[in-house]
Structure 1
């Protein structure tokens, strides 16, 4: 115990203690020297010459004895005082060092944060970085439409770098959740890596935020050759009018899905049309306010309202696109189901003949063949019974065939890719328009699903994306909807806060989210 404490003591403190001990020893030696000096000089003293008169000689002897006794007192006092002072100082400094809480002591031995605190910090960093990347991607789409690829290349490069850092951070976090690494110190370093990569993603976006505003002419008079807020308003208003017409068509498309397919088929986009209309109402108010601010020359207010309107238009587009995407994928899935059934039956026949590649035992193979037969029979019955869910049917066919651990036919691979893409896209859309209420776990699952989809792990991508969607829906239900019942200029405020269009930093919903990292994304405040 003592040796460990000594090793843990700072070098500077050890050096100071050594100096103080040396001073104490030196004081003791000086005191001892004073004590010994009279004794050493007593024998070497020059004899006093004998006086010719006896009375004088007799008086000299007592005077010599008195001087020797006085010489012993002063050194004794000095030595005792030096030892006392040194000992008292040493004891006082030792006691003070044991109870010391100064910044110097803390820096020498910084406290190790608790794992729960480090995990909370990593979760918050992931969520913030993901929001920044999503918002920057949305605004950059408007800027690129106005200024082209070449002039927006620095911002595109910064966004891609931030996306790379964020993807790596999510990958580290996912491994951490799975228990890798296992050693406590390495796990702390993994969390530090997550926070560091998220910070780097934000830094890359923050570095380009001011340049993007200058290019757009936001918050000030546009420079020569720049198009300014007026041109951006024209672009946003054009998109708004296009989406308003598409929202009506999307409502009709959703009604057709309900008539043609089972209720579960249109479940992933239930409520999307209503939410899209809500975002468009909010966009109407904000774009009108931006136009008024441009007319009065209030550039900062125009920039604030423009960004809020653009964010609402983007999310309305995501919702309308989601309905159209699902309708197209359901049609494609319905065409693929008969071919997928045929392909799966061919896989089962090959497995029974023993011509397929498999690592299953005979008992396992027979059990899975029986299960696959049951799944395929159920799907065939659904096809003739009435409306069904084509994507769910394809999912069950693909899973039944994959359980045989054999080679997958081309049509089954196509079906698996369609199912995985549909699940990932659905989770992405839901998270994008509800990110104000969605935490880290659904985002991490979605990032994993995207990685699996890119790597060809289609079954895993489908399963993880569905898990991400379920987690996100649960968190949105738990979050609730603030700002309910708002009208007029505040119409659609609840959806804007829920979607992360407004950052909810003020009672009016806060500033709109803009291109940039944590330091700059809320710069368009009042």
Structure 2
């Protein structure tokens, strides 16, 4: 592992050090050669001077000359080796620098966090969009043929659920070690990638199954649209009834569902008409794009209308349950006092406020049950009898409402609301209904905040803005972009014009 000091050293400074080392080695070799020159000169034979008779001298000088001559070869070899070593060092350093500079820089913690959030959103969008398309394909074939696609969606949702569980632990501060936290983010991205891969692998096969001709599928979508339009017309009366019976809060939520459902149906009307004209003129690719956009809008309108009907049914169930839940809660408090069990602070005030609402006029019975069950959640008797039934009803209503809201606004919703919703689903299955209801309510609040921050779409003649908000269109062009299709992040935009 490279030390922090080495990592922090500028590259040009490292290059200068290498050059200086090379210069020093070359200078040493040159100096050794310069010192050896006199010795070499002394060994050259005399050619012009006649021989002289020299006086007798000791043999020591002769031995010195021999020693100097013997040193010439080792010095030369050493110098050559030094030059080769210096050259190799520089070449190796250049190769290492090039390798380091070409390697991608490790992402920062903030960048890894952002990548994980984006992967969760993309994978969740892909699963939800794939679920919306499959019923339209089912109308043209048998269930056995569609079994592999249902299995792919189930597998993708399992991977996504595991990724959300990892993300929830990460957001809660687990694990604590920085290295383990980086590994957790890598695992989240990997799980999301696998979910997308499973859906991508089936996308082309589903296209072949549905066929290139849009005519039969258009007939299926048009029939689904007509049935839903009839239901949506009655939804307005349902919303008005809920407002009168259960107060403005319940009525406002119901009215919002009706308005958005009508917006999606307006969009579906325009796209079905465009798709039919394209099919009649032989423009099959364009017809398929219009068809898929209409299918997505019809699916979301169906979710909104069905959610309104489900809410009305649960409000009626809750209204019938509130008196019994109040009686059960008061009995539980009395039993706790009799046995010396500490009573939660504010529980008596909560029950008194709910009892007063029963006679004061219209009220939201689901909200009343939510307050009752939360006030007594820590008491032993709160998980039995009528209180347990009330907690389960409240939790399922809260999870269903948050699920519908995220689905039909997914074009604007980030990772945090989706993660809380996934945690609420796991908590409800545990089962811990009171905690699940709290998580689902918080998920809805965060999702609503994201939608408001994104900006509510202005009303337009064809409802394209609402389709972008709902994720029916990918929102990548001024006209809303291509419709989303069955598949993962790699194939979900394959209906873009020019990519077929």
TM-score by length of 1: 0.80
Are 2:329 and 2:387, in contact at CA under 8 Å, matched by a contact in 1?
yes
Q: Give the secondary-structure state (helix, strand or coil) at the position aligned to 1:412.
A: helix
Distance 2:256 2:433 in 1: 28
Are 2:373 and 2:382, in contact at CA under 8 Å, matched by a contact in 1?
no
Q: Give the secondary-structure state (helix, strand or coil) at the position aligned to 2:474.
A: coil
| Structure 2 partner of 1:373 | 348
How far residue 113 of structure 1 moved from its aligned partner, in angstroms, is 1.9
| Structure 2 partner of 1:415 | 390
**Map of 1:346-495 to 2, 5 A cutoff?**
346-354=331-339, 362=340, 365-366=342-343, 368=344, 371-406=346-381, 408-481=383-456, 484=458, 486-487=460-461, 491-495=462-466
Q: What do the CA deviations read for 1:254-298 (whole angstroms, capped 9, x no partner)?
A: 001111112122343342111111111110111111111221222
Q: Give the secondary-structure state (helix, strand or coil) at the position aligned to 1:507.
A: coil
How far residue 203 of structure 1 moved from its aligned partner, in angstroms, is 0.3
Are 2:243 and 2:252, in contact at CA under 8 Å, matched by a contact in 1?
no
Distance 1:390 1:248 in 2: 26
Q: What do the CA deviations read for 1:130-164 (whole angstroms, capped 9, x no partner)?
A: 00000001001211232121000111111111000
How far residue 374 of structure 1 moved from its aligned partner, in angstroms, is 2.3
| Structure 2 partner of 1:53 | none
Distance 2:319 2:119 in 1: 42
Are 1:280 and 1:313, in contact at CA under 8 Å, matched by a contact in 2?
yes
Distance 2:144 2:88 in 1: 71
Q: Give the secondary-structure state (helix, strand or coil) at the position aligned to 2:472.
A: coil
Distance 1:166 1:93 in 2: 50
Provide closer, same or farther for how the CA distance between residues 2 and 461 of structure 1 changes in structure 2, counting only shifts above 3 A: closer
Are 2:481 and 2:496, in contact at CA under 8 Å, matched by a contact in 1?
yes
Q: What do the CA deviations read for 1:466-515 (whole angstroms, capped 9, x no partner)?
A: 11111111111111145x4543xxx1011011111000122211110000
Distance 1:248 1:171 in 2: 40
Distance 1:233 1:92 in 2: 71
How far residue 244 of structure 1 moved from its aligned partner, in angstroms, is 0.8
Match of 1:183 among 156, 177, 185: 177
Provide closer, same or farther for how the CA distance between residues 212 and 86 of structure 1 changes in structure 2, counting only shifts above 3 A: same
Distance 2:298 2:147 in 1: 24
1:165 is aligned to 2:159: yes
How far residue 310 of structure 1 moved from its aligned partner, in angstroms, is 0.1
Distance 1:190 1:171 in 2: 11
Q: What do the CA deviations read for 1:371-421 (whole angstroms, capped 9, x no partner)?
A: 322222221111111111110111112122223344533111111111001
- Structure 1 residue runs of 5 or longer lacking an equivalent are 7-16, 43-55, 221-227, 355-361
Q: Give the secondary-structure state (helix, strand or coil) at the position aligned to 1:151.
A: helix
Provide closer, same or farther for how the CA distance between residues 210 and 95 of structure 1 changes in structure 2, counting only shifts above 3 A: closer
- Structure 2 residue runs of 5 or longer lacking an equivalent are 7-17, 44-49, 56-60
1:86 is aligned to 2:61: no
1:141 is aligned to 2:150: no
Are 1:434 and 1:476, in contact at CA under 8 Å, matched by a contact in 2?
yes
| Structure 2 partner of 1:250 | 235
| Structure 2 partner of 1:260 | 245
Are 1:347 and 1:408, in contact at CA under 8 Å, matched by a contact in 2?
no
**Map of 1:168-247 to 2, 5 A cutoff?**
168-217=162-211, 220=212, 228-247=213-232
| Structure 2 partner of 1:515 | 486
Provide closer, same or farther for how the CA distance between residues 245 and 70 of structure 1 changes in structure 2, counting only shifts above 3 A: same
Provide closer, same or farther for how the CA distance between residues 267 and 405 of structure 1 changes in structure 2, counting only shifts above 3 A: farther
Match of 1:497 among 449, 468, 475: 468
Distance 1:290 1:303 in 2: 7
Number of matched residues?
470
Q: What do the CA deviations read for 1:212-235 (whole angstroms, capped 9, x no partner)?
A: 000000xx3xxxxxxx52221111
Provide closer, same or farther for how the CA distance between residues 96 and 473 of structure 1 changes in structure 2, counting only shifts above 3 A: same
How far residue 76 of structure 1 moved from its aligned partner, in angstroms, is 3.7
Q: Give the secondary-structure state (helix, strand or coil) at the position aligned to 1:266.
A: helix
Match of 1:506 among 451, 472, 477: 477
How far residue 81 of structure 1 moved from its aligned partner, in angstroms, is 8.4
How far residue 116 of structure 1 moved from its aligned partner, in angstroms, is 0.5
Provide closer, same or farther for how the CA distance between residues 117 and 4 of structure 1 changes in structure 2, counting only shifts above 3 A: closer
1:120 is aligned to 2:149: no
Q: Give the secondary-structure state (helix, strand or coil) at the position aligned to 2:142.
A: helix
Distance 2:390 2:252 in 1: 20
| Structure 1 partner of 2:289 | 304
Are 2:376 and 2:382, in contact at CA under 8 Å, matched by a contact in 1?
no
| Structure 1 partner of 2:15 | none
Are 2:163 and 2:187, in contact at CA under 8 Å, matched by a contact in 1?
yes
Provide closer, same or farther for how the CA distance between residues 346 and 84 of structure 1 changes in structure 2, counting only shifts above 3 A: same
Are 1:265 and 1:390, in contact at CA under 8 Å, matched by a contact in 2?
no
Distance 2:86 2:117 in 1: 48
Distance 1:348 1:454 in 2: 27
How far residue 352 of structure 1 moved from its aligned partner, in angstroms, is 2.3
Distance 2:145 2:254 in 1: 36
